[in-house]
């Protein structure tokens, strides 16, 4: 054999052997995965949420000309199929890129210089580990991190930072929910802290019933699109705003809009926002689509039992970081068997309440608009998975049907649907008022034969 060919062959074999040994001598792939990137814009500020498989060492810094926020996540890779959303609010563009030493860099290009801050929020309840970036005014940034749920938040180095007793109290209470104005927008004045009595308050309380109204899709996610170009995200936001406005007109009730403008909110963040708002019920508004354009009608969904069971398993697996169940029941100080029983009881009661409330809404819709499915449906929908907040999803119509698409675009029909949903919710709470609310006071007065103040003006 030619000597040079032999040497080349030996060199190739040696190189392949070394390459095969590299993982075994410390060059393993990153162990942390960036699982999703979410962005929302509200109250003049922008919030970016990086959800990861676990907390890792991070480095946060800003650059100028152009203005950028940079987050370097150590030992991290971008998950398969993760979609980088388009910029909204203060953020023009989001970019990601691999850096040396298994570092993943996330760059937020800003439209203009603004105050910003980034912190870890450890996993809790049904939300994984998240790195939160808030960009905007000083008050927006401060409110973002005052509202974080866990009692400890990891610093930018990845180490947990102790919070003061006052900060822990704020975190446990959750963010004050902005009250929707007549236009559906939240104003800075309306987001001032407001004391909301918990659901386990004394029976003589008079707090408002809080309804979380969730307009589906938004931002870069248009949802279903009608034949004439009508986007689901636009019509359901209009209906959600009309519903919130009607709820806010009702004494003893208050609406919380999960999204109050055209921006995207990740599904589990919708649930978290409802929990932070101390919502008594969660209503997600959508417009269905199907290949057969002749199909019409509204329908209402609640969570399926199989999906509820899988969610319970997730809660139990993460109960060390779980938020309290509504009513103040803690899971983290219970053994696994007792925690499982408590969670099962909570979910059973919650599914029953969800079904009852959904039936009232479906009956009300049936009197106002065309209904396709006359019974409440059950499905494994993520936004309905809260184990202790009655939740429903309302498919208001089939946007794929030209006639219903045209109606969905009109203010008159939007208000008609919103009024029907409101009437069903109102009817449910008249019969099943949460303790400590004005509705509960009126219910007790009625049962005792004492005239109470009317629920409607």
pLDDT band at 315 (very low <50, low <70, confident <90, very high): very low
- Looking at per-residue pLDDT, the higher value among 147 and 70 belongs to 70
Sequence-distant (6+) residues with CB within 8 A of 217 are 223, 232, 233, 236, 264, 286
Would you state the pLDDT for residue 337? Answer: 59
Task: Tell me: pLDDT of 61 over 80.
Answer: yes
pLDDT band at 144 (very low <50, low <70, confident <90, very high): confident
Express each pLDDT in 338-372 by its tens digit. Answer: 555 555 555 667 788 899 999 999 999 999 999 99
The partner residues of 44 in beta bridges, in order of sequence, read: none
- Looking at per-residue pLDDT, the higher value among 147 and 106 belongs to 106
pLDDT band at 330 (very low <50, low <70, confident <90, very high): low
Task: Tell me: pLDDT of 258 over 90.
Answer: yes
Would you state the pLDDT for residue 443? Answer: 78
Would you state the pLDDT for residue 347? Answer: 61
Say which range, 79-93, 297-311, 323-337, 397-411, has the weakest mean pLDDT: 323-337
Question: pTM surpassing 0.95?
Answer: no
Q: Counting every residue, how long is the chain?
A: 457
Would you state the pLDDT for residue 449? Answer: 58
Rounded mean pLDDT, 392-407: 95
Task: Tell me: pLDDT of 146 over 90.
Answer: no
Task: Quote the distance between the C-alpha of residue 100 and its chain's center.
Answer: 34
Would you state the pLDDT for residue 127? Answer: 62
Say which range, 190-194, 302-306, 433-437, has the weakest mean pLDDT: 190-194
- Residue recorded with tokens 């030619």: 2
Rounded mean pLDDT, 405-427: 96
Q: State the average pLDDT for the chain.
A: 76
Would you state the pLDDT for residue 174? Answer: 38
The partner residues of 120 in beta bridges, in order of sequence, read: 131
Would you state the pLDDT for residue 22? Answer: 42
Would you state the pLDDT for residue 291? Answer: 86
Rounded mean pLDDT, 434-438: 87
What b/e string do you get for 382-396 counting C-beta neighbours within 10 Å, with b at 16 or more?
ebbbbbbbbbbbbbb
Would you state the pLDDT for residue 307? Answer: 56
**Cα(433)–Cα(160) distance, rounded to whole angstroms?**
40
Share of the chain above pLDDT 70, in %: 68
Q: Which domains does the chain have, with CATH numbers?
A: 32-163 (2.60.40.3500), 189-447 (3.40.630.40)
Asked whether the beta carbons of 128 and 53 are under 8 A apart, the reply is: yes
Would you state the pLDDT for residue 306? Answer: 62
The partner residues of 392 in beta bridges, in order of sequence, read: 283
**Cα(311)–Cα(267) distance, rounded to whole angstroms?**
14
Rounded mean pLDDT, 328-339: 52
Task: Tell me: pLDDT of 125 over 90.
Answer: no
Express each pLDDT in 402-413 by its tens digit. Answer: 999 999 999 999
């Amino acid at each position: 054999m030619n000597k040079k060919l032999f040497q080349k062959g030996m060199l190739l074999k040696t190189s392949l052997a070394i390459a095969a040994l590299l993982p075994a001598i410390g060059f393993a792939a990153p162990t942390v995965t960036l699982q999703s990137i979410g962005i929302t814009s509200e109250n003049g500020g922008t919030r970016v949420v990086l959800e990861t498989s676990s907390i890792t060492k991070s480095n946060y810094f800003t650059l100028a000309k152009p203005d950028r926020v940079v987050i370097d996540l150590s030992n991290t890779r971008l998950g398969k199929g993760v979609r980088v959303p388009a910029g909204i609010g203060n953020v023009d563009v989001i970019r990601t890129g691999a850096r040396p030493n298994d570092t993943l860099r996330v760059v937020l290009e800003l439209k203009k210089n603004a105050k910003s801050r980034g912190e870890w929020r450890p996993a809790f309840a049904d939300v994984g580990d998240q790195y939160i970036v808030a960009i905007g005014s000083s008050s927006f940034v401060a409110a973002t991190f005052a509202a974080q749920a866990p009692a400890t938040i990891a610093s930018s180095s990845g180490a947990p930072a102790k919070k003061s007793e006052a900060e822990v109290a704020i975190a446990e209470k959750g963010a004050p929910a902005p009250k929707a104005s007549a236009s559906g927008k939240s104003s800075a004045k309306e987001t001032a802290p407001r004391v909301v009595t918990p659901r386990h308050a004394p029976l003589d309380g008079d707090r408002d019933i809080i309804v979380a109204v969730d307009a589906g899709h938004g931002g870069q996610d248009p949802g279903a699109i009608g034949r004439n170009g009508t986007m689901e995200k636009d019509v359901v936001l209009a209906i959600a705003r009309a519903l919130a406005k009607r709820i806010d007109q009702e004494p003893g009730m208050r609406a919380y809009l999960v999204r109050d403008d055209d921006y995207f909110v990740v599904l589990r963040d919708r649930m978290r926002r409802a929990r932070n708002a101390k919502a008594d019920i969660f209503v997600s508004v959508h417009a269905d689509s199907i290949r057969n354009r002749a199909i019409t009608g509204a329908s209402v969904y609640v969570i399926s039992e199989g999906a509820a069971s899988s969610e319970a398993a997730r809660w139990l697996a993460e109960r060390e970081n779980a938020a309290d169940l509504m009513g103040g029941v803690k899971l983290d100080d219970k053994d696994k068997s007792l925690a499982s029983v408590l969670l099962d009881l909570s979910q059973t009661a919650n599914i029953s309440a969800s079904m009852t409330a959904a039936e009232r809404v479906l009956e009300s819709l049936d009197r106002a608009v065309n209904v396709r499915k006359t019974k409440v449906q059950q499905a494994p929908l993520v936004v309905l998975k809260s184990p202790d907040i009655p939740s429903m999803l309302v498919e208001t119509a089939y946007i794929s049907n030209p006639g219903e698409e045209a109606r969905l675009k009109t203010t008159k029909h939007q208000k008609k649907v919103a009024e029907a949903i409101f009437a069903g919710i109102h009817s449910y709470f008249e019969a099943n008022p949460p303790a400590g609310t004005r509705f509960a006071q009126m219910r007790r007065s009625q049962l005792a034969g004492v005239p109470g103040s009317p629920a409607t003006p």
